[in-house]
Amino acid sequence: AQTVTQSQPEMSVQEAETVTLSCTYDTSESDYYLFWYKQPPSRQMILVIRQEAYKQQNATENRFSVNFQKAAKSFSLKISDSQLGDAAMYFCAYRSAYNNNDMRFGAGTRLTVKP
């Protein structure tokens, strides 16, 4: 079964600085999708960014970008120019292209942004 590992339970960053959150996954499949979700104190899960495994180009959404290393099974999230509103739990998630209904989540990284 696929597993997702986030090795950093907590991270902190100074406002306006850059932070990188790590995620690794284990799979024997060749086609899949990867996601980063943000969960603020309101608890709602908000999609931050997504990546298709067949695409070599790293996804970017404004201040958020990923470093996708397929061979290493690594999918890190970089947040540039961190803002106070970025403080939240961040979850990395994996979804097989062969089973659209099975999404696997990591345990999450709590990001604190210091003013």
CB 78 within 8 A of CB 17: no
Stretch in the footprint of another protein (CB under 8 A) among 56-64, 66-74, 79-87, 104-112: 104-112
Write the binding mask 1 to 20 for another protein: x where contact by CB under 8 A, - elsewhere.
---x----x-----------
Neighbours of 23 (CB within 10 A): 27
Write the binding mask 36 to 55 for another protein: x where contact by CB under 8 A, - elsewhere.
-x----xxxxxx--x-x---
Q: Rounded to whole angstroms, how far apart are CA atoms 61 and 90? A: 15
Contact positions vs another protein (CB under 8 A): 4, 9, 33, 35, 37, 42-47, 50, 52, 91, 93, 97, 100-108
